[in-house]
Copies of this chain bind each other. A is one copy, B any other.
Amino acid sequence: MIRVTIWNEYVHEVVNPAVAEVYPQGIHNAIAAGIRNESFSIRTATLAEPEHGLTEEVLNETDVLLWWGHRAHDEVRDDIVDRVQQRVLDGMGLIVLHSGHCSKIFNKLMGTKTCQLKWREADEKERLWVIDPSHPIAEGIGEFIELPKEEMYGEHFNIPVPDELIFISWFEGGDVLRSGVTYSRGRGKIFYFRPGHETYPTYYNNDILKVISNGVKWAAPSQTAAPFYGNTAPLEPIKAK
């Protein structure tokens, strides 16, 4: 059983009727419904909850955390961001969705300040090509995923060189993006997946849900040993010189 926590700032859906129409229960609940299966135990958390719903207890019981944020990145408390970062370093998986590329937690883990990119809202077509057909995150989908309308995110995307590049997006307006990338930080695995603008029904698309679900399985912690850090005695004798 993989314990999943889906975090959503849950602001657009509340203040913007057009978004509420697409996601009446919020993006978090749409994703939760979409990836539900017997091997996941899912809960949600939102910005407005105490400690944003990400208490020590919740995080300690989370194997994989999903993160959707956009308008309210700055309202996320720094101490909660530190807490999430530490949990990632200790092995919790993290899936950062769409505009989460500008979240405090993603930026902190990447080191490129704001993970900037080009963007445009123009109802344009996006086609996500599978670049690594050996990867479990690409399981069960075809050679590409087509989204009739999405926000555009384009290169240059100011992220570190990914450990793995799984999807590249083609956009109708002439741009491309590395749109599915993975990283490790400490013992934790990170998957950034681009699609999911709040005004489009992207999180009802079966392929998108399949990728997120694959991502959860991939990002679940491996039962590896926690390294010891600090002053350490030699394992072998050292000759006097």
Contacts and interface: CB of A to CB of B under 8 A. Distances in A.
Interface of A: 85-86, 89, 91, 108-113, 116-120, 122-125, 127, 129-136, 138-143, 148-149, 152, 154-156, 158, 160-161, 163-165, 168-176, 178, 183-189, 222-236, 238-241
Contact of A130 (B131, B178, B224): B224
B161 A127 contact: no
Which 9 pairs from chain A and chain B are nearest by CB? A173-B234, A174-B235, A156-B227, A116-B229, A174-B236, A134-B184, A109-B111, A111-B111, A136-B222
Contacts of A183: 160-161
Contact of A113 (B85, B163, B178): B85
A49 B141 CA distance: 39
A227 B140 CA distance: 13
A165 B166 CA distance: 13
Contact of A165 (B141, B152, B165, B231): B165
A202 to B, nearest CB: 15
Contact of A222 (B108, B134, B230, B232): B134
B184 A132 contact: yes
Contact of A223 (B139, B226, B240): B139
Given A119-B232, A129-B156, A160-B185, A143 B110 contact: no
B186 A133 contact: yes
A225 to B, nearest CB: 5
Nearest to A158: B186
Given A117-B229, A125-B238, A130-B156, 19 more contacts: A85-B113, A132-B184, A134-B185, A134-B188, A138-B225, A139-B222, A141-B225, A149-B241, A152-B234, A155-B227, A158-B186, A160-B184, A160-B185, A161-B165, A170-B170, A170-B176, A174-B234, A174-B236, A175-B235
Given A133-B187, A187-B134, A225-B143, A120 B156 contact: no
A149 B240 CA distance: 10
A223 B143 CA distance: 12
A130 B225 contact: yes
B238 A173 contact: yes
Contacts of A130: 155-156, 224-225, 227
A125 B168 CA distance: 18
21 contacts: A86-B113, A111-B185, A112-B185, A118-B228, A119-B232, A120-B234, A125-B236, A125-B238, A130-B224, A130-B225, A132-B161, A133-B224, A134-B185, A139-B222, A155-B168, A163-B164, A165-B165, A168-B168, A170-B175, A174-B234, A174-B236
